Amino acid sequence: MSKDDQDKENIFKHLESVARGIVGTFGPRCEVVVHDLDKPDSSLIIIEDSVTGRKKGAVETVAKVLGVSTITLYKYLREVGA
């Protein structure tokens, strides 16, 4: 595993703790998700207290809300540096 991959994994582990903390603060009607945009076809990697029924590995839903393809959104976010 490369150093970049290790760093990314460590960041996601930290974000998982942050997600649990947010749900712990706001309660059971709060859903917290983290997406890995390097995996546009299965970007949802962390989900705490699923209110919507989504599960890890789901495709992000922002593209659906905007009415664009996941790949189009992914490319746009990469271009703007998000």
* pLDDT score, position 43: 84
Mean of the pLDDT values across residues 7-36? 93
**SS3 label, residue 60:** coil
Q: How high is the pLDDT of residue 69? A: 72
Domain locations in the chain? 3-80
pLDDT tens per residue across span 24-79: 999 988 999 998 878 877 888 999 998 888 889 887 666 665 667 767 777 887 88
Length, in residues, of the chain: 82
* 19-23 average pLDDT score: 96
* DSSP-derived secondary structure for 3-40: HHHHHHHHHHHHHHHHHHHHHHHH-TT--EEEE-TT-T
The pLDDT assigned to 9 comes to 93
